[in-house]
């Protein structure tokens, strides 16, 4: 979708966000006649002077999220019209005009996203221009028979091809073995679809040489739980267990498209977690790339095993500031639901910078604690640590403490995005469909911008 800025909103549809009673003139009279209330997410289509005007409510708390929700409602209301959407920014709102415009783009792209492109009767019409992009299919919604680890690596190559300063490469099981990635490699060995270590490097001119943003993503393209198999109910949602890796790939693509002057290294561990004759087992002891040993207690705690090697590799390759994104624990979903993610870190200032970037961008985050006394939870009688616990205590913190063993020296933040990364049920805002949300892409771009 092309985005332009004009002095006056023009298009096949004009979008307006309003609080109750804020519209005057003919629009206000029409709204009053039909009893329209400007609740958050409410929308209606008016015909005024030969123009179609889509009016959406902002509700009582007017902020960027309210604007996103209003724009999403307009996108859904007028989705079959297509053409040009003109949006009238309002200087009377308590939000800067540039932030309004950004929120509108977010809302139109996310709220107008249609996950049903695999339907044989799919005929959705999209807006071609937003005056004042149609959204690409979210990677997390692609079926696992299409989005294999190799296919995700190909997508990274396609994104890199669009920028002169971005490169992508990948390697399979032989590369994992060569690097000594015994933890990641164990998760991958039960699948017939080979794992991929995906590496993206963005090196633009004018970037600081003393800072390399390392972005690490878990991309389990389908997670059965392995031998510790998951319940059948909702297992189809496990195609979304690669949402963190997908966000890293798309986020670096966004950084390159924006031309931000910051060195970025992206490392994504892509694999399936499958049962089978070659699958790893509870009781196995694995040796990670950094030499530490891990007792496998539960093969469904596989994401942290993938990230263990990938985090160490990112630091080894020169990342000075690390962030990992992963749909890691059901405990985070239980605690924070589908709106906020939890952020952990070994450096409070870096953790807080990541949290602030997320909240500015609309990818909402919340800081979680880490304390040295949590370390006892991962103790093993047989190895340096174990990958799970039967206690059921502090599961998200447990996972973060495990990952901390593999981050090396320097600032690191861990984002557990199990709730917002893939929605089991639609949300009543700008995510009206279940499935992948693209969560993390906006955070990544905003974080990179804050480092320039």
Q: Name residue 167's beta-bridge partners.
A: 201
Question: Which tokens go with 224?
Answer: 């059965």
Our CA angle for 250, 274, 243, nearest 5°, is: 20
Cα–Cα distance measured from residue 37 to residue 286, given in angstroms and rounded to the nearest whole number: 60
The CA distances from residue 423 to 35, 163, 324, in Å, are 33, 31, 20
Contacts of 411 (CB under 8 A, 6+ apart): 320, 321, 322, 345, 346, 347, 349, 350
Helices H, strands E: what count in the chain?
A: 12, 19
Per-residue DSSP letters for 218-242?
EEEEEE--TTSPPPSTTGGGGGGGG
Catalytic site residue 51?
no
Considering the candidates 155, 304, 351, 404, report the single residue annotated as catalytic.
304
Catalytic site residue 80?
no
- Residue 34 near residue 47, CB atoms below 8 Å: no
Name the H helices within 162-301.
Answer: 173-179, 182-188, 243-258
Using CA atoms in the order 102, 107, 109, 110, what is the torsion angle rounded to 10 degrees?
Answer: 130
Cα–Cα distance measured from residue 85 to residue 203, given in angstroms and rounded to the nearest whole number: 36
Residue located via tokens 């309003």: 18
Closest listed residue to residue 313, CA positions, set 163, 198, 398, 445:
198
Considering the candidates 230, 287, 360, 375, report the single residue annotated as catalytic.
230
- Residue 60 near residue 96, CB atoms below 8 Å: no
Closest listed residue to residue 219, CA positions, set 246, 254, 257, 187:
246
Residues with catalytic function = 230, 304
């Amino acid at each position: 979708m092309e985005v332009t800025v004009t002095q006056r909103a023009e298009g096949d549809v004009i979008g307006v966000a309003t609080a109750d009673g804020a519209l005057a003139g003919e629009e206000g009279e029409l709204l009053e006649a039909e009893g329209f209330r400007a609740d958050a997410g409410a929308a209606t289509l008016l015909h005024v002077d030969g123009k179609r005007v889509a009016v959406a409510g902002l509700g009582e708390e007017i902020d960027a999220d309210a604007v996103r929700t209003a724009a999403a409602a307009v996108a859904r209301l007028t989705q079959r019209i297509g053409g040009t959407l003109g949006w009238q920014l309002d200087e009377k709102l308590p939000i800067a005009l540039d932030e309004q415009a950004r929120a509108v783009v977010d809302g139109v792209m996310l709220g107008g996203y249609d996950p049903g492109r695999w339907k044989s009767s799919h005929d959705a019409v999209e807006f071609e221009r937003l005056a004042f992009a149609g959204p690409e299919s979210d990677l997390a919604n692609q079926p696992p028979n299409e989005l294999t680890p190799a296919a995700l690596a190909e997508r990274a190559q396609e994104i890199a091809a669009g920028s002169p300063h971005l490169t992508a490469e990948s390697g399979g099981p032989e590369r994992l073995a060569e690097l000594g990635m015994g933890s990641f490699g164990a998760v991958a060995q039960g699948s017939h679809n080979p794992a991929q270590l995906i590496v993206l490097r963005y090196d633009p001119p004018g970037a600081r040489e003393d800072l390399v943003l390392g972005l690490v993503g878990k991309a389990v393209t389908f997670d059965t739980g392995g031998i510790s198999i998951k319940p059948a109910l909702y297992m189809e949602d496990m195609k979304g267990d690669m949402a963190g890796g997908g966000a890293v790939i798309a986020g670096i693509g966004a950084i390159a498209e924006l031309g931000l002057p910051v060195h970025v290294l992206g490392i994504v561990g892509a694999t399936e977690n499958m049962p089978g004759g070659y699958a790893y087992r509870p009781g196995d002891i694995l040796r990670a790339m950094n030499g530490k040993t891990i007792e496998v207690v539960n093969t469904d705690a596989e994401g942290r095993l993938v990230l263990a090697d990938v985090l160490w590799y990112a630091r080894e390759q020169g990342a000075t500031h690390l962030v990992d994104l992963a749909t890691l624990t059901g405990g985070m979903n239980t605690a924070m639901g589908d709106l906020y993610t939890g952020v952990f870190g070994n450096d409070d200032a870096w953790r807080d910078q990541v949290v602030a970037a997320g909240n500015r961008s609309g990818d909402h985050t919340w800081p979680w604690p880490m304390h040295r006394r949590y370390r006892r939870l991962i103790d093993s009688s047989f190895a340096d640590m174990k990958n799970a616990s039967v206690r059921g205590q502090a599961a998200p913190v447990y996972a973060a403490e495990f990952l901390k063993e593999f981050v090396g020296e320097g600032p690191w933040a861990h984002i557990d995005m199990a709730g917002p990364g893939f929605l089991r049920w639609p949300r009543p805002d700008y995510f009206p469909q279940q499935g992948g949300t693209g969560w993390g892409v906006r955070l990544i771009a905003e974080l990179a911008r804050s480092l320039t």
